[in-house]
């Protein structure tokens, strides 16, 4: 075999080597000087680094530049030698996808990602909290130790309260924006809820993500089984939490030799990346602040209807932190977002065009499963009578509705008048709002 390879020209030998695994290339390089030279060709290792790690320039796992790809691959393998290599590649792909999206759409949030944690940082957390982190979560923190958190005491950094990479929503006076916590905050917050809020240390749960807006929202990772939970309206002493990922997908969370190790944290962040990449959720601007808005933007979760030139978009999100699984009437809380605008052609009624129209009343039918649980017929929306003009930005408002079941819907219509309420140019007309779902999702954010 050695003689056959040694007798090949450069190009055939290069092609053969490119088909081998990195470990087999290393073995071939030990055969003789010529094969060692061919196996050390940096273009070969550039291909390997790109295929396995998506590296286009030679660098180590902290992003430091290196002189060649062969050294880069060697250092990556050494840095993560205690982990299954397929899992390392998967976790890197997860972070790469998220960072690519943030770089293109929300760079100020990407800038909050911290340098990866060290093994000693992770060991310190495990010792202090008496837990053993699932392998995928350990790796996630090796790449990025959560986010730099906003300084809520400093008014100059108030806008950074909306840079959570998980995102959130607002309705009435409630605002949520979720950050991935760095390890030192995981320790501090977990100790706090155990010491002062009566949370049981025996649960082996740690707080890994939290909202830094006006409403509290906490995500707990169960280090034993790898599931991620979110708290409800109940006190933490009640241990009422909702799983964030389907249990059937979690496996081999502590098994170094298992196949496809995946805990809820990895699955959760991968799903978050998919939703961002597919435009299901987007960055929205409110005032001077930008943030990831968890209200869906695409069908079937977001519906769009146009009536007489008035466009209405509507979607909803499950709100676990205001749900109460023991309350028969308000087990599941949903917030919904309504976005209305007047298309550039204006308000068109029976062939006549008007340059504005104004909302007067709203009518909602809210169902739990297929049963009507609420019917609303009232004036205004959140106390306002929005006046729409062609081509202007959307008027957006949020509201909420509790349901006794995890599945339901909202539909209805708004009553508008052409012109203004104070100076109507015609009779009132109905603007339909198509039925949109209130559904507790498989993945809870």
pLDDT in the model for residue 153:
46
- For the beta carbon of residue 237, count every other beta carbon within 10 angstroms: 11
Domains of the chain: 5-80 (1.20.1280), 85-278 (3.40.1580.10), 299-439 (2.60.40.1470)
pLDDT in the model for residue 258:
78
Q: ω before 87 within 30° of 0 (cis)?
A: no
Query: How large is the angle between the packed helices 42-53 and 69-79, nearest 10 degrees?
Result: 40
Q: What b/e readout covers 372-399, taking b as 16+ CB neighbours within 10 angstroms?
A: ebeeeeeeebeeebbbbebeeeebbbbb
pLDDT in the model for residue 229:
97
pLDDT in the model for residue 63:
92
β-pairing, 347-349 vs 357-368, is unpaired
Reduce the DSSP state of residue 241 to 3 states and report it: strand
Q: What b/e readout covers 127-151, taking b as 16+ CB neighbours within 10 angstroms?
A: eebebebbbbbbbbbbbbbbbebbe
- What is this structure's pTM? 0.91
pLDDT in the model for residue 31:
57
* Residues 6+ positions from 225 with CB-CB distance below 8 Å: 250, 253
pLDDT in the model for residue 328:
87
- The tens-digit pLDDT sequence of the chain (445 residues) is 555 555 566 566 666 667 778 877 767 666 566 666 667 788 898 999 999 999 999 999 999 999 999 999 999 999 999 999 999 999 999 999 999 999 999 999 999 999 999 999 999 999 999 999 999 999 999 999 999 998 764 545 555 679 999 999 999 989 999 999 999 999 999 999 999 888 887 889 999 999 987 788 999 999 999 999 999 998 777 778 999 999 999 999 999 987 789 999 999 999 999 999 999 999 999 888 999 999 999 999 999 999 999 999 999 999 999 999 988 888 999 999 999 999 999 999 999 999 999 999 999 999 999 999 999 999 999 999 999 999 899 999 999 999 999 999 999 999 999 999 999 999 999 999 999 999 999 999 9
Given a contact cutoff of 8 angstroms between Cβ atoms, the answer to whether 340 and 386 are in contact is yes
């Amino acid at each position: 075999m050695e003689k056959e390879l040694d007798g090949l020209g450069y190009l055939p030998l290069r092609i053969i080597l490119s088909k081998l695994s990195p470990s087999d290339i290393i073995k071939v390089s030990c055969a003789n000087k010529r094969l060692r030279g061919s196996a050390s060709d940096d273009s070969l290792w550039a291909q390997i680094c790109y295929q396995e790690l998506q590296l286009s320039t030679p660098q180590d796992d902290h992003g430091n530049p290196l002189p060649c790809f062969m050294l880069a691959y060697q250092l990556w393998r050494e840095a993560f030698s205690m982990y299954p290599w397929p899992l390392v590649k998967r976790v890197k792909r997860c972070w790469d996808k998220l960072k690519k999206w943030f770089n293109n759409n929300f760079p100020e949030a990407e800038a909050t990602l911290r340098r990866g944690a060290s093994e000693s940082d992770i060991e310190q957390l495990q010792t202090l909290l008496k837990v053993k982190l699932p392998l995928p979560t350990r790796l996630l923190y090796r790449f990025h130790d959560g986010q730099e958190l906003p300084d809520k005491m400093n008014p100059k950094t108030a806008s950074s309260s909306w840079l959570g990479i998980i995102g959130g929503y607002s309705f009435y006076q409630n605002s949520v924006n979720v950050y991935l916590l760095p390890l030192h905050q995981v320790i501090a917050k977990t100790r706090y809820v155990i010491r002062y809020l009566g949370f049981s240390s025996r649960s082996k749960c740690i707080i890994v993500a939290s909202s830094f807006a006006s409403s509290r929202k906490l995500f707990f990772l169960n280090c034993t089984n790898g599931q991620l939970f979110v708290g409800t309206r109940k006190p933490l002493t009640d241990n009422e939490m909702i799983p964030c990922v389907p249990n059937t997908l979690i496996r081999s969370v502590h098994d170094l030799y298992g196949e496809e190790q995946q805990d809820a944290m990895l699955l959760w962040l991968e799903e978050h990346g998919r939703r961002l990449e597919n435009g299901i959720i987007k960055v929205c601007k409110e005032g001077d602040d930008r943030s990831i808005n968890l209200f869906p933007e695409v069908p079937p979760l977001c519906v769009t209807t146009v009536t007489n030139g008035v466009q209405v978009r509507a979607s909803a999100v499950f709100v676990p932190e205001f749900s109460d699984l023991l309350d028969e009437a308000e087990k599941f809380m949903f917030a919904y977002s309504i976005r209305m605008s007047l298309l550039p052609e204006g308000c068109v009624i029976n062939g006549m065009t008007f340059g504005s129209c104004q909302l007067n009343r709203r009518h909602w039918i809210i169902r739990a499963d297929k049963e009507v649980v609420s019917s609303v017929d009232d004036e205004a929306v959140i106390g306002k009578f929005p006046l729409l003009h062609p081509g202007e930005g959307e008027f957006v408002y949020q509201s909420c509705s509790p349901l006794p079941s995890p599945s339901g819907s909202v539909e209805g219509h708004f009553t508008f008048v052409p012109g203004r309420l104070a100076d109507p140019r015609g009779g009132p007309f109905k603007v339909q709002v198509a039925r949109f779902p209130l559904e507790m999702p498989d993945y809870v954010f």
